[in-house]
Amino acid sequence: MIRKYLYASLAILIISCPLLGGTDFFVSTGGNDTNPGTQAQPFATLQRARDAVRELNKSEDLPKGGVTVWIEADTYYVNEPLTLSNQDSGTEKAPIVYRGQSDQEVRIVGGRQVKGFQPVRDPEILERLDESVRNKVVCADLKAAGITDFGEVAARSNRLELFFRDEPMQLARWPNEGFLQILDVVGETPKTIHGRKGTVEGKFTYSDDRPKRWADEQEIWLHGYWFWDWSDSFEKVSSIDTEKRIIETVPPYHNYGYRKGQRYYALNVLAELDRPGEWYLDRRKGILYFLPPSPIDQGRAVLSTLRHLFVLKDCSWVTIRGLVLEATRSTAVTISGGTGNTIAGCTIRNTGSWAVSISGGGNNSVLGCDIYRTAEGGVSLSGGERKSLIPAGHRAANNHIHHFGRIYRTYRPAVAVSGVGNHVAHNVIHDGPHNVIQLGGNDHTIEFNEIHHVCFETGDVGAFYMGRDWTARGTTIRHNYFHDIKGPGLHGAMAVYLDDAASGISIIGNIFCRAGRAAFIGGGRDNLVENNIFVDCPASVHVDARGIGWMKYHVEADGTLPQRLKAIPYRQPPWSEKYPQLVNILDDSPGRPSGNIVRRNISFGGKWLDVENKAMPLIKFEDNLVDKDPHFVDAGRQDFRLRPDSPAFAMGFQKIPTDKIGLYRDEYRKSGIGLEK
């Protein structure tokens, strides 16, 4: 390699790489921040590399090709996030890139490794532990190791967690799997929602004597679905009457109240540390107790200590590439404002909240990443200006997102989208307890995604979900593959759930296989269901008239829907031009599900329609092929392409580009699931 030496205002020696056409800095765990940042003499921290880029940026125009900060393969336990602002920006032709140097793992860890585990010798602690594990549990003094910020047991974005061998461990709980049920609710303040009776007081009875073991516990928490199967929360225990078998929680109580038969489990209970992988922290003494799933010296135990790893605020044209980001208490990467920032080819796992949050700005992207075991959701995209309908152009594309929502279970989707004009494409998403893509706002595109085995723990849930806003229009859901979607709770699961009068959405060219009530229109208007394939669904298309039924109070003059309508200039351009159906909606029996079109769809197996009688005459049905063999290429192998002799073509059905669905190879993704093509 030919090396050219340039000197910035601080006489920093840097290497220019002709192959990349830009300037390079290097970071290594064996480096030193007093070094010049060359490959031979690298920096030790990302902060020092950032400052070198900043000085270069101040002193002269960025070199053609930009600046790359190469991070050598190793594990970096960081004490602070890399914070980037406007002064750390690149340009479209000269971006700033922070990336791994080789094909080996470059791990950025927001935690501290815990060492010095010893057998438990405290007789009081041993007595509280189950006899079967007393000689297997180990402990470590965190305060002696300099770890004193323990966060909170159930706090979002400040919840300390333990990881061992790169997997999250379980805070000691009972039962070890599954849920208990509320035997009955106790209290004088009844609450009824949609005919379901409960109480707003956090007091209920249980059926087992197990809590008698918990007398000396410091801080017991419960996690449950207290009233609805789509709303979970963590509730702190105030008291337990083990004679009357009554548990009382600390206010404020769960916002929907509590109901007989609902599900919960207890956690943060030392006496329940009885299964390999469980842990408990004595927060008063700072002693960590752990029952490792394999010998403690055969893996690294890491406690999350840092909230974020990268914080980008009002900076532009920065790329974070080829890194493993893990063990944070909150979201690994936050981007607020700025343009052209990209998180690419990264593995983001074991976070205490989300993987990436993007808000404001424009054209920021998450591309080709593997995201899994996040405590909350995967990627959040928020941007664009609704009143003027100016799009943001944020993207989440070619990502493999799975096993998300592992702690906070509901409304923590793989991808959350809000604002105007954002794009979710070519992702493979699976193994989530609740919804997958949660949407608000206008003119988004959701396409070429494969979504499966989700909604498995909740009820009345949609893999794709939006609702209760007439103005959230213009989104297209096309050429996606939804399959094996089923929820155990009340009302089960839907694939595309347009809840509570969601309107103006196009569902075009998707494949739904064993996907619950697949295209679900919950009282909405002006929706299009066109050119889709439905196979073995309990109902291919559902339409109801809730806006003139049980949900009528949301449609009335002071209801939620008119309020949200009036918050938008819907009678003025560009709204009146783009969405003319809204201009006179309040004078057009707005609660009726008018304007819905269902045409040129294929429904095979299962059930075609689940439509309320009041809604049926308001729907336009055209040229649907129902319960006739559509001549799939190989349905047994889930190949739902149509043979040339399919009768659907005579009805105007258009081929679905199935070869484009899912992940694809590019510079960020070289291999992985779903890459047969």
pLDDT score for 589: 97
Query: What span, in angstroms and rounded, lies between the C-alpha atoms of 529 and 601?
Result: 8
Ranges assigned E (strand) in 34-149: 67-71, 74-77, 82-84, 96-100, 106-109, 111-114, 118-119, 138-141
Same domain, 163 and 198: no
Q: Is the pLDDT of residue 15 over 80?
A: no
pLDDT score for 9: 31
CB-based contact 82:325 (threshold 8 Å) = no
Q: Is residue 586 part of a domain?
A: yes
Same domain, 497 and 619: yes
Residue 513: partners with Cβ closer than 8 Å, 6 or more residues away: 481, 482, 483, 484, 535, 536, 537, 638, 640
Query: What span, in angstroms and rounded, lies between the C-alpha atoms of 430 and 402?
Result: 5
- Rg of the chain over all Cα atoms, to the nearest angstrom: 27
Q: Is residue 440 part of a domain?
A: no
- Tens digit of pLDDT for each residue in 584-620? 999 999 999 999 999 999 999 999 999 999 999 999 9
- Domain range enclosing 192: 180-271
24 phi/psi in degrees, rounded to 5: -120, 140
- Tens digit of pLDDT for each residue in 525-559? 999 999 999 999 999 999 999 999 999 999 999 99
pLDDT score for 674: 54
Of the given ranges (3-7, 65-69, 83-87, 574-578), which has the lowest mean pLDDT? 3-7
Q: Is residue 188 part of a domain?
A: yes
- Tens digit of pLDDT for each residue in 251-300? 999 999 999 999 999 999 999 999 999 999 999 999 999 999 999 999 99
Same domain, 599 and 623: yes
Place of tokens 């050598």: 72
CB-based contact 333:310 (threshold 8 Å) = yes
pLDDT score for 125: 97
Same domain, 280 and 241: no
Residue 572: partners with Cβ closer than 8 Å, 6 or more residues away: none
H/E run at residue 47: helix 46-59
Higher pLDDT, residue 345 or 20: 345
Q: What DSSP line would sit under 542-591, residue for residue?
A: EEE-GGGTTTHHHHSTTSHHHHHHHTS-TTSTTHHHH-GGGTTGGGS-TT
- Tens digit of pLDDT for each residue in 104-120? 899 999 999 999 999 99
Same domain, 537 and 595: yes
- Which whole number is the average pLDDT over 486-497? 90
Beta strands 287-290 and 184-185: pairing type? unpaired
For residue 673, name the pLDDT band (cuts at 50, 70, 90).
low
Same domain, 118 and 263: no
Dihedral of CA 458/462/466/468: which sign? Answer: negative
pLDDT score for 18: 34
Q: Is the pLDDT of residue 17 over 50?
A: no
Question: Token pair for residue 376?
Answer: 């909350």
Percent of the chain whose predicted confidence (pLDDT) is above 90: 90
Same domain, 513 and 652: yes
SS3 270: helix
Q: Is residue 633 part of a domain?
A: yes
- Which whole number is the average pLDDT over 69-87? 97
Q: In the chain, how many domains are there? A: 3
Counting beta carbons within 10 angstroms of the beta carbon of residue 300, is it exposed (0 to 12), middle (13 to 18) or buried (19 or more)? middle
Q: Is the pLDDT of residue 496 over 60?
A: yes
Same domain, 165 and 189: no
Query: What span, in angstroms and rounded, lies between the C-alpha atoms of 309 and 334?
Result: 9
Q: Is the pLDDT of residue 42 over 70?
A: yes
Q: Is the pLDDT of residue 40 over 70?
A: yes
- Tens digit of pLDDT for each residue in 522-533? 999 999 999 999
H/E run at residue 123: helix 123-128
What end-to-end distance do the CA atoms of the chain give, in Å?
Answer: 36
- Enter the pTM of the model: 0.95
- Which whole number is the average pLDDT over 481-496? 92
Q: Nearest 5°: CA angle at 225, between 219 and 230? A: 140
Percent of the chain whose predicted confidence (pLDDT) is above 70: 96
Query: What span, in angstroms and rounded, lies between the C-alpha atoms of 646 and 656?
Result: 13
Same domain, 144 and 237: no
pLDDT score for 124: 96
Phi-psi region of 256 (alpha: psi -120 to 50; beta: other; left: phi over 0): alpha
Q: Is residue 244 part of a domain?
A: yes
Q: Is residue 466 part of a domain?
A: no
Domain end among 253, 271, 289: 271
Q: Is the pLDDT of residue 8 over 50?
A: no
Q: Average pLDDT over the chain, rounded to whole?
A: 94
Same domain, 154 and 286: yes
For residue 141, name the pLDDT band (cuts at 50, 70, 90).
very high
Higher pLDDT, residue 117 or 64: 117
Alpha carbons within 13 angstroms on the beta-carbon side of residue 453 total 8
Q: Is the pLDDT of residue 2 over 80?
A: no
CB-based contact 78:306 (threshold 8 Å) = yes
pLDDT score for 102: 79
* DSSP 8-state class, residue 420: B
Q: Is residue 314 part of a domain?
A: no
3-state secondary structure string, 194-260? CCEEEECCCEEECCCCHHHHHCCCCCCEEEEECCCCCCEEEEEEEEEECCCCEEEECCCCCCCCECC
Dihedral of CA 41/42/48/51: which sign? Answer: positive
Long-range contacts, 672-675 (Cβ 8 Å, 24+): 672/370, 672/400, 673/400, 673/428, 674/428, 674/450
pLDDT score for 518: 98
Same domain, 266 and 117: no
Same domain, 200 and 292: no
- Which whole number is the average pLDDT over 429-451? 98
Amino acid at 466: M
Q: Is residue 407 part of a domain?
A: no
- Which whole number is the average pLDDT over 43-65? 92
Bridge partner list, 279 = 171, 290
Q: Is the pLDDT of residue 489 over 90?
A: no
